[in-house]
Structure 1
Amino acid sequence: MKIRLLVGAALLPLTFAMAAQAADVAPSAVIEPAGDGVIGRVVNADGAPLPGAEIVERGTGRRVVSNTQGEFILNGVSGQIELDVRYIGLPSASQTVVATPGRLTAITVTMGGGDVTTVADVVVTGVITDSVARSLNQQKNADGTINVLSADAIGRYPDPNVAESLQRVPGIAIQRDQGEGRYINVRGAPSAFTAVSVDGVAVPAVDPGTRAVDLDTLPSDIVSNIEVSKTLLPSQDADSIAGAVNIRTRSPFDTRRLAFSGYAGGSYNDYGGNDTRAAATVSNVFGENQTFGALLSLSYSETNRRPENIENAWVEGGSSYVIEETLFKQYETQRTRQALTGALEWRPTDQTRLYVRGSYADFEDNEYRNTLILGYADGALQAGATDTTATYTGARIYRGLRHRTQNNQITTLVLGGEHTFDNGMIWDADLSWADSEQTYPHRDELVYRSTPTTLSYDTRDHYAPTYFYAAGNPIFGDTATGFFATPGNFSFRENTFRSNTTQQEDVAFRTNLEIPSQFAGREVDWKFGLKYATRDVDADEERQRDRASSANPGTLASLWGDTQGRNFGYQLGTQYDKGLVDAYLAAAKGSSPRRMPDSLTADYTAQEDILAGYGQARFDVGATNITVGLRVEQTKFDGSAPTYSIDEDENEVYATANVSRDDTDFFPNLTVRHAFNDNLIGRFALTRSISRPEFNQIVPRRVEEVDGTELSASFEVGNPDLQPTLSNNVDFGLEYYFASLGVVSANAFYKDLTDYRYVLNYQQDVTIGGVTYVDADFSTPINAPEGHLMGLELNWQQKFGFLPGWMSGFGVFANFTVTDAEIKTGQNYGGRNTFDLPGQSETNYNAALFYEMAGFSARLSYTKRSDYLEEINADNADLDLYVEGREQLDFTASYDFGNGFEVFGEAKNLTDSAGVKYYGSRERTYEYEKFGYNAFVGVRFKY
């Protein structure tokens, strides 16, 4: 595959060189190219490009919009023409142009450099207001419904990764891991319903269990802007039911001069440790006519934290619900992010450009976890249990130390180019390579287990339960004493070793041809394109375990250090010495038993090839812009997984299970934008989209975790017949833009879902090798025949420039999203066949008050989402797993000295909000985790 990439990379520049010299030939007699026009840039008084500017030819009303670098092409005009250019936040401009017939005439339009003639156009300049203007102009003039975050806007929030930046966008909520955003939910949809790309290159997921991209791997400071498309056009990949996120990195032609910028700073974390973050970007353009450009950007961050965590596993116990296991987790984590982006671009003329862009992001989570487990289920439940109290005899306590290292890497590389012919046709093509890899070099753990004892609990205060041993003695008092703190009560139980490597490699070629024309007496822009993408997935997992006496490292006391554990006020006693345990694990791993045979079945390979083609036409009917088209995607999938079993003669049997599929799907599209006037925009879209199954779900794998000694078993079963989820979408909305910089909007959506896939969890008895496992846990993905997701987004942004004096520096951001969703299954589970959509919060909102004046800027921001379903329990609705809604208050402030230097400070999670999960009811808390607040200070610099 990499050879094909190199060959294609060598041929692509040659192809473009030949195309640029080719004669301008009309493609057919039916579609006649326009032939005349203007090619240009829109910039501000400082020469910075203005994206989303609207350019209108006064005589004919022809309209175009500048791209992210302020560039535009207006076809079908010649002779002396008058251009009107509008950009929210700057005074409108007009420019007379003499367009030469038969070719494209190059111009530059400068806005904001002349006298202000309209009071409504006066805008106080500043970083926040400039970023708002850039976003609003792109959103207003886009054909579909989009939201845009610029780099400056991202920098005004305390958001270290892309996931946390996106939570500020209307309709987007995030899922967190240890307090940091990881996945996004767009418009209440599951995270896998949103595709992510970097510079147009589709990013494969790093986690083998989902197609959703771990956005905490990508630091926010590599971003030039982020565009979220909530309605798709035929020219976009169809695999985004909720929306498509495209992360654009910086270009040397953003500034077209030697430019250097960066920042550095450090922080204090409420729950231990500190942060260090720094980034730098340098770029320049070269050559006599500044036709070459180069850019390099570096980013580094290190986060040290000690979040506190308690988990309770609930089950049905007779007439009540009881806890079968409680885990106290004492974390010590270090997370590092490193990123590199680069670009080389060549623009020999205004009509031709070639480029190479690449990005690399590395995320490492190095974690030690002291764990104390109350193993109630090892014993016998006593009579008299209630929903809040229970007693077990013969229970055990476990003490363990796990050392886990997780490493994620995402790499993208794209080589491409674009040429605009004199007749107005635009041809572009690119060849891309993306690689995502997740490795767990080790997930190693040492566990000691106590002798049997009596344990009980009381959860009437469900966030702060009390726990007892023997005759009602509190387990965790003011000091760490008693049964669990006595080393002699514990003996070696086991060591376990687990490692994973998953790699996804994607190679794609894409080409598009855009033809401006006269068709049926109307100006029509035709666009056609092809894309071929092939993705290879390779997942490998290994597990080892040793309980033999020869693996015993000695007494528990011989491995203890001098640190006392504390978790939410519970005194957890002396903790393991991680150095001693690491040394033991390193020595024991080489002598542990061979790889557990059933862990082979966790491995799999897959290849997915997608061939796509589309055609679309865009035309205007008065003030209405219409895009209509069709996209077709053919998906070929091949997957395989090892199988393991024991035959009647007790022999191990190894084989391979395979699956092959071939599907073709059609995606019609109608997108309408209507300008009622210069300020009021209406939108309507009928689209169709797809979400393909996760690779690990569709391959025929059966992952078993069986403990013959404990008589416990769990099974993860693949489903080769799992179908992709298809969605027919209706979107409509109204947006009113204030000339003084602001917008108020309402956007409604409805998604009709077919074959929504979900993971079904259930229990049943199973016999393996003559041993019966009672109530073994099973999970398998299946399709729900029907479902829907609908909602309403409300958004208000405004700079209060109309207020007098210093008060004019205030402004507000506020958005609110309400959704309703459900899926209907083909059979009843626990007496029901209708479920909430996993990952969907009924409400989600953001509110921020900002102030900017004379170099000072500040922003107080608040975000909250309501509860959402995470997992469905097939047998009992009371054991469905929910994530409790979470709120967070953040504050940022900065002062710009006007000489390129700026000091800033951030305060994050001022509400000290916890992360909570529960089973069915909030009283049955599954997980309670707190992270504390974070305060960061630093300096920014720009040249």
Structure 2
Amino acid sequence: MTKTVFNLKMLAPLAAAVISVNAGAQEVSNTGTEKQGELMETIVVTAQAANARSDIERQRDSNKVVAVQTSEAIGELPDANVTEALQRMAGVFISRDQGEGRFVGVRGIDPNLNASTINGMSLPAPETDSRAVALDVIPADLLASLEVFKTLTPDMSADSIGGAIEIKSINALDYDGQTYKVTIENGYSELQGENSPKFAGTYTNKFDVNGRTLGVAIAASHQERNFGSENIETDGVWEEFTALDGSEGITAAEIEQRDYTVTRERTGLAANFDLEIGEGQQVYLHSLYSDFSDDEQRQRNSFKLDEENDTPSSVSANSATWSDAALEKELKDRYEAQEILSLVAGGSHDMDSWGVEYALGYSHAEESEPHRRDTTFVQEGLELGYSSAGKIPQMFAADASAVDAASYELDELVIEDNYTDDEEVSLRIDFRRDIEVAGNPSELKLGLHERRREKTGDLNATIYDGFSGDYTLADFAANSIDYGLGSFGPSVSKSAINAFINANLASFEIDETSTALDSARDYVMSEDISAIYVMNDIDFGRTNLVYGVRYEATEFSGQGYRVVEAGEAIPGAVEIAEDVYVSEVEHANDYSKLFPSVNVKFDYSDNIVLRAAYTESLSRPSFGALNPSPAEIEYDEGELKVEAGNPLLDPYEARNFDASFEYYADALGMFSVGAFYKQIDNFVVTADVSSVADYSVYVGSLTVDEAEIFQPMNGDKATLSGAELSWTRGFDNGFLLRANATLTDSEADLGLGAGAERGSKVALPSQADLVANFIVGYERDALSLRLSTAYKGERLLEVDLEDEAFDLYEDTHMQVDLSAKYRFENGMQVFFNAVNLTDEPFYANRRGYNGQYEEYGPAYVLGVTYSTF
């Protein structure tokens, strides 16, 4: 791989902006007042140690087990979005896409099993399949704080087995008068050699409105990030073969080389209005808008090793050769846009011993993928294989024509237009009353919560396989790309192929069967949740007890299509193409449950806090898992490949036990150790169910010789236990150490029965056995440094129902980041961030054989901030 030596000249596009802002800052400094001097003192107070102290105090005061990060603490680390900021908390890990943090898991549990709210209202998910919200669409610049609740109280949604993530956006009433902050930065991707500019700003002020205080807070952020990755992955599983020459070994039938070039743009805007209408009386309107786009070009080599022969010529434990194979070269040209809008209007009123809070929320998320184009060229009859397997298979082509662009014929063009919409309206009313229980102060609280959600998908694909001429890759070839994981050969020119498509699309021939199969994927899923609760919060001297019960009723319905490729008519179905039949399907699943909970906090001494909790919760399966329409059906001469949902899945149900010991030092310091145990029923796992599936659901009476059918299914029972440790220590010499680790162990029963081909016991899917962070901070005068390490242990991603040796596991991941800042007395701050210093890759494997390997390279950011607070 060609590596670029990093130097500050790469960030030259930022220089003019830095000089401009610096000049403006100097002018402000020269005309400053005593009040401005006080604000400079505030900067000193809110440095690393003070930020750590603030987070610790909020954790100590909570009546639940919680991890907290304020916006100031987030700003000390090189985290560009909410997801990456959350990974620093105890027990939190993240799932990455193209090296960027997207989804958040808590205590080693699948991100889909968490609840995410912003300003008290749930967030919708723009992705087609996910219930988990990819929080990377929310810039960290818009935040006031992040909280991860690991135990629940009855006034919180029960929809959380891992943790409940609360995002609070900025509030002007938390600041003194008018403040503002401006940040300009530029990033540099070492792998791609590209720059990534970003701008962010916040403004707050308080106004007198007829004797009442109106707080106005506005935050905006825009980033254009240019980067990419290099990848090699296996499509399908590795299997044992006896080759034509009698040799024996394990090999895969298809391996892909991929090179990605990506441009992601994020625009965020928050506008919050808070009006104090009297003592203890407040109304508000909070809004957040996020726009995210992902412009991706992927060059791909697909080594179709079993294209004609289903047996290799020769095979060993580490190499294989296949004759009469095919090599496909493909360009994916995709632009994806996501939007999230959250509006919350509400208020709170204290009336002597009574109080009421209310909120009406509207959330909308959408994802559009217009005019996606996947263009494929193919060359057949090749001798292909790999000379070494393992983490990075070394692919080879014995034929010289493999690097000749003229030898690849234009084979297929797929154009997709996909749209997903997720909309929710929610209402909550909470009443509280101060009462005495046996002479002890307490608060009785009860409330009503309603959520109405609908998710729709309009998914369309047109597949062309005839092109009114004999075209080859030579007609559209680009220069060979810089690919560090092997030899890539000629690639496809985006501009040339798009010009050809735009000029000739009307003359192309459509593959009616494949088009029909790929387009009958639309769905509508609705989910209505009604909840009532009652809880009591009592103080018995040093002891705080919160207990109560929540009742939630869920009504779920899913409408979609049953798609069958068959050689004869299917009763009740409509033939939409030759031998393709479609019928509408609808499934409903209504359920309700009581969720009791108890949280106890005991202040053993001024320095020691003990906690214990028992809670019950659930997590609803992801929308992709519930989708009644199949995501993919491929049938070719007896070979069947299917990816489908299961709308009859039951929700996860959990009983959760927590206990912890927390020590708070008089100086800056904290140590905590906690234990947790979860009993989970109906866990969901995605598995290859071809050994037990009914093939006729997808192909009628057609013959199936070989099948891969991936579908989510409910397992039986699972348990998860773990320990959580957290430590913070500040020193007089300016050093600050923070460390946390969460160790988990799980066992899940697939419920396969005695006749199953494999063992029924597995780890809970997506459970990481160890999640840890270690941060070394140093601050002296105006200089601030942070070196942070985030570690995530191995976790199970996919189950093979026939052979547990070929379950897919994500390998361990440890990323090292650096942040350095220097503050000037005039309110200016210059910062430098380095992300993924050790060039940590993503790796998933089956029995040590490649599942996916991807490299992203380090990235660097240089920026400047000016603020008045």
Aligned twin of 1:408: 338
CA contact (8 A) 2:558 2:647 kept: no
SS at 2:253 equivalent = strand
Q: Deviation per CA, 1:618-659: give whole Å up to 9, x if none.
A: 112221100110000011112211233457358614432112
SS in 1 for 2:164: strand
Indicate conservation of the 8 Å contact 1:658/1:699, yes or no. Answer: no
553 and 187 in structure 1: CA distance in 2 versus 1, 3 angstrom threshold: farther
Return the match for 2:516 from 597, 606, 612.
597
Shift of 1:695: 2.8
127, 130, 135: which one pairs with 1:207?
Answer: 127
Aligned residue-pair number = 805
Task: Give the superposition deviation at 1:704.
Answer: 4.0
Per-residue deviation, residues 50-83 of structure 1 (Å, max 9, x unmatched): xxxxxxxxxxxxxxxxxxxxxxxxxxxxxxxxxx
Residue in 2 aligned with 1:933? 858
The answer to whether the aligner puts 1:294 opposite 2:294 as a matched pair is: no
Instruction: Report the Cα distance in structure 2 between the residues aligned to 1:881 and 1:350, rounded to whole angstroms.
Output: 58
Report deviation, 1:525.
0.7
- Paired with 1:464 and 1:667, the residues of 2 have a C-alpha distance of 48
Out of 638, 646, 653, which is 2:557 matched to?
A: 638
Q: Which moved further from structure 2: 530-539 or 212-221?
A: 212-221
More divergent stretch after superposition (686-695 vs 504-513): 686-695
Separation of aligned partners in 1, 2:219 and 2:150: 29
3-state SS of paired residue (1:224): strand
Residues 407 and 472 in structure 2, CA contact (< 8 A), matched pair in contact too: no
Q: 2:540 — aligned with what?
A: 621
Does residue 435 of structure 2 align to residue 505 of structure 1? no
Aligned to 2:22: none
Q: Distance in 2 between matches of 1:794 and 1:516?
A: 36
- The answer on whether the counterparts of 2:670 and 2:728 sit within 8 Å (CA) in structure 1 is yes
Q: Distance in 1 between matches of 2:273 and 2:602?
A: 38
Q: Measure the CA separation in 2 of the matches of 1:443 and 1:775.
A: 31
Greater radius of gyration (CA): 1
Pick the aligned partner of 2:329 from 396, 399, 402: 399
CA displacement at 1:487 relative to structure 2:
2.2
Identity of aligned residues (%): 29
In structure 1, C-alpha distance between the alignment counterparts of 2:171 and 2:864, rounded to whole Å: 23
Structure 1 residues 816, 649: closer, same or farther in 2, change over 3 A?
Answer: closer
Distance change in 2, residues 1:521/1:405 (3 Å): same
Separation in structure 2 between the aligned mates of residue 589 and residue 941 of structure 1, nearest angstrom: 52
For 2:32, the equivalent position in structure 1 comes to none
Counterpart of 2:633 in structure 1 is 705
Q: Equivalent residue for 1:133?
A: 53
CA distance in 1, matches of 2:744, 2:832: 35
In structure 2, relative to structure 1, the CA distance for the partners of 1:570 and 1:827 (3 Å cut) is closer
Does the alignment pair 1:419 with 2:341? no
Corresponding residue number in structure 2 for 1:789:
720
C-alpha offsets along residues 666-689 of structure 1, whole Å, 9 cap, x if unaligned? 000110000011110000000000
Whether the 8 Å contact between 1:417 and 1:429 is mirrored in structure 2 is yes
Residues 751 and 790 in structure 1, CA contact (< 8 A), matched pair in contact too: yes
User: Match for residue 835 of structure 2?
Assistant: 908
CA distance in 1, matches of 2:539, 2:345: 33
Q: Is the 8 A contact 1:918 1:927 kept in 2?
A: yes
Q: Which moved more, 1:579-588 or 1:877-886?
A: 579-588
- Name which of 204, 215, 221 aligns with 1:283: 204
Which residue of structure 1 aligns with residue 452 of structure 2? 534
Match of residue 821 from structure 1: 746
* Match of residue 676 from structure 2: 749
Asked if the contact 1:379–1:392 (Cα under 8 Å) also holds between the matched residues in 2, the reply is no
Matches for 1:168-317 after TM superposition, within 5 Å? 168-272=88-192, 273-287=194-208, 289=211, 291-313=213-235, 314-317=237-240
Summarize deviations over 1:550-605 as a string: whole Å, max 9, x none: 2x5723211113x3213225232332221111223345555563682223442111
Maintained 8 Å contact 2:642/2:709: yes
Among 154, 168, 179, the residue aligned to 2:74:
154
TM-score, normalised by the number of residues in structure 2: 0.89
- Give the Cα separation in 2 of the matches to 1:524 and 1:762: 53
Q: What SS does the aligned partner of 1:452 have? A: strand
Q: 1:548 to 1:835 in 2, by over 3 A?
A: same
8 Å Cα contact 1:367-1:404 kept in structure 2: yes
Mapped partners of 1:174, 1:703: distance in 2? 25
- The separation in 1 between residues aligned to 2:582 and 2:377, in whole angstroms, is 34
Provide the residue aligned with 1:521 in structure 2.
Answer: 439
SS at match of 2:49: helix
Give the partner amino acid of 1:643.
R
For the pair 1:555 / 2:478, whether they are aligned, the reply is no
State how far apart, in whole Å, the 1-side matches of 2:502 and 2:657 are.
57
Segments of structure 2 that go 5 or more residues without pairing to the other structure are 1-34, 242-247, 576-580
Deviations 1:21-67 (A, max 9, x none): xxxxxxxxxxxxxxxxxxxxxxx99999xxxxxxxxxxxxxxxxxxx
Q: CA RMSD in A?
A: 2.3
Residue-by-residue CA offset, 1:237-288 (whole Å, 9 max, x unaligned): 0001111001100011111411111211102211111221210011211116
Per-residue deviation at 1:483? Answer: 2.1
1:812 is aligned with what amino acid?
A: L
- Alpha-carbon spacing, 1:589–1:214, altered in 2? closer, same or farther (3 Å): farther
1:345 partner letter: D
Determine the C-alpha separation between the residues in 1 that align with 2:640 and 2:504: 25
Output aligned runs, 1:561-580, within 5 Å.
561=478, 563-568=479-484, 570-580=486-496
Flag the structure with more relative contact order, 1 or 2, with Cα contacts below 8 A and sequence separation at least 6. Answer: 2
Cα distance in 2 for residues equivalent to 1:553 and 1:251: 63
Shift of 1:762: 3.2
Cα distance per residue 1:796-850 (max 9 Å; x no partner): 011113xxxxxx2111011111100111122144321100111111112111110
Whole-angstrom CA distance in 2 between matches of 1:883 and 1:46: 52
SS of match in other structure, 2:499: helix
Aligned amino acid, residue 243 of structure 1: G
Name the counterpart of 2:384: 455
Do the aligned partners of 1:601 and 1:704 also contact (CA within 8 Å) in 2? no
| Letter matched to residue 304 of structure 1 | N
User: How far is 1:520 from its partner?
Assistant: 3.9
Q: Name stretches of at least 5 consecutive residues in structure 1 with no aligned partner.
A: 1-43, 49-111, 114-122, 474-481, 802-807
Match of residue 94 from structure 1:
none
Deviations 1:365-384 (A, max 9, x none): 10111111211011323354
In the superposition, relative to structure 1, how do residues 514 and 46 fare at CA in structure 2: closer, same or farther (>3 Å)?
farther
Amino acid of the residue matched to residue 618 of structure 1? D
- Displacement of 1:152 in angstroms is 1.2
Amino acid at match of 1:242: G
Q: In structure 2, what is the Cα distance between the partners aligned to 1:290 and 1:891?
A: 45
CA 1:493–1:830: 2 relative to 1, 3 Å: same
Partners of 2:474 and 2:629 in 1: CA distance? 42
Cα distance change on mapping 1:447 and 1:904 into 2, 3 Å: same
Q: 1:491 is matched with which residue? A: 409
What is the distance in 2 between the residues matched to 1:622 and 1:695?
A: 46
Letter of the structure 1 residue corresponding to residue 87 of structure 2: Q
Q: Which amino acid aligns with 1:663?
A: Y
Give the SS at the match of 2:306: helix
